[in-house]
Amino acid sequence: MTRTILVAGGGTAGHVFPALAVAAELAAQPGIEPVFVGVDDRLEARLVPEAGYRLHTIDAVAIPRRPSAALLRVPSRLRAAVRRCREIIAEEEPLAAVTFGGYVSFPLDRAAHRAGVPLVIHEQNSIPGLANRVAARWADHVAVTFPGSAKRFPREERCVVTGNPVRADLVALDRAAGRADARTRLGLDPEVTTLLVFGGSQGAESLNRALVAAYPRLPGPLQIVHATGRRGYDDAVERWEPVVSEDGPRVTTVAFIDDMAAAYAAADVTVCRSGATSIAELTALGIPAVLVPYPHATADHQTENARALAAAGGAVTIADEELTGASLAEALTPLLADPAARREMSRNSRVFGRPDAAAQVARLTLEVAGAPDGGGS
């Protein structure tokens, strides 16, 4: 007999991909079917069915951060979303629910509590979001990425440090063995030190500008893969044109990287933001990094994320307001010029990382569900 476990994690890639990673671990257990709850116009509406899972949709509501007319409609819409989740629970009769934060998760958190369904929540960031801080009062376990996060929850004793779940294809990636092939597939020289720079699907203008400004100061031989983001692509190409020289580092500019596994395998050093998913992927693979936290993240959680990895010796950080061509070149030069420095940072990054995070969150979920513990697969 197959029994379901409800999974909610949507809206952004940072929520969807960890949820899918845990779902894969759950689906590997006999008699367990992960079933998702999400919104029909967000990322999960495409990614969840593509991964082969059923998806129930709800009309979830984000809470405005400033007073507005929309804020007045939140209570009634939230009640409706919770009612819809109660209907899904009645239909699916789940063994448990596991959620990954955000406004998509909160209605399921509340409905599971009211229905007596065991609940595990996962917090990606060092500073918990509002939905998870509230839902932690009801959860059987709170899985956290960063050890320091536990003290920020009302029931610290229920927190378990699991790390942030990473896709199985990345966890299994052998960067050393696949580096030459990955570089060849990306049109790069297999033998040249490679810098990977990305700012997320929409890009990061400050990173794009600083990278171009840093270019003349970077030590060679070097090649650069620059993912500009879709909105910043045309501007970045225009900025690169007068700068790139025949005897300087080769620059490959793309709007978006579809094959992140290949990009990570090709990279010796990475420059990126410090979202929890990026840090989880970098540390699972041991990639040296220069982190530039997104300055407008809620409660400045990206700065806290970056500080945690930097304190472990797995990255260096630059505040966005201090990011210039000179400061970026200063941070990158020791790593690009010295393989020993890269190896040391790579080791520290791997020690910080938790590549088994998806299995650990699945184990907690199966535990509260009363199902056999197969979460270590």
* pLDDT digits 0-9 by tens, 294-344: 998 888 899 999 999 999 999 999 999 999 999 999 999 999 999 999 999
Residue 347 belongs to a domain with what CATH number?
A: 3.40.50.2000
Q: Is the predicted pLDDT of residue 174 greater than 70, yes or no? A: yes
Q: Check whether residue 95 and residue 202 sit in a common domain.
A: no
Pairing relationship of beta strands 194-198 and 96-99 according to DSSP bridges = unpaired
Q: Check whether residue 196 and residue 249 sit in a common domain.
A: yes
Q: Is the predicted pLDDT of residue 376 greater than 70, yes or no? A: no
Tell me if 376 is assigned to some domain: no
Element (H or E) spanning 317, and its range? strand 315-317
Question: How is residue 40 written in tokens?
Answer: 């029909």
Tell me if 182 is assigned to some domain: yes
Domain count, the chain: 2
Three-state secondary-structure class, residue 245: coil
Beta bridge partners, 5, equal 34, 96
Q: Is the predicted pLDDT of residue 62 greater than 80, yes or no? A: no
Q: Check whether residue 183 and residue 126 sit in a common domain.
A: no
Torsion over CA: 130, 136, 141, 146 (sign): positive
Q: Is the predicted pLDDT of residue 374 greater than 60, yes or no? A: no
Tell me if 232 is assigned to some domain: yes
| pLDDT at position 377 | 43
* Window from 92-96, 150-154, 160-164, 314-318 with minimum mean pLDDT: 150-154
- Expressed as residue numbers, the domain containing 56 is 3-166+355-369
| pLDDT at position 253 | 95
Element (H or E) spanning 57, and its range? strand 54-57
| pLDDT at position 219 | 93
| pLDDT at position 204 | 87
Tell me if 374 is assigned to some domain: no
Q: Check whether residue 156 and residue 178 sit in a common domain.
A: no
Is pLDDT larger for residue 318 or for residue 154?
318
Tens of pLDDT along 203-219? 689 999 999 999 999 99
The single-letter DSSP state of residue 63 is: P
Rg (alpha carbons) of the chain, rounded to whole number: 21
Q: Check whether residue 267 and residue 328 sit in a common domain.
A: yes
Q: Check whether residue 97 and residue 180 sit in a common domain.
A: no
Question: Which residues fall within 8 angstroms of residue 341, CB to CB, at 6 or more apart?
Answer: 288, 334, 335
Question: How is residue 153 written in tokens?
Answer: 């929850």
Q: What is the mean pLDDT of residues 151-171?
A: 91
Three-state secondary-structure class, residue 13: helix
Q: Check whether residue 298 and residue 195 sit in a common domain.
A: yes
User: pTM of this prediction?
Assistant: 0.85
Q: Is the predicted pLDDT of residue 64 greater than 70, yes or no? A: no
Q: Is the predicted pLDDT of residue 65 greater than 70, yes or no? A: no
**Could you tell me if 259 and 184 are in contact, meaning their C-beta atoms sit under 8 angstroms apart?**
no
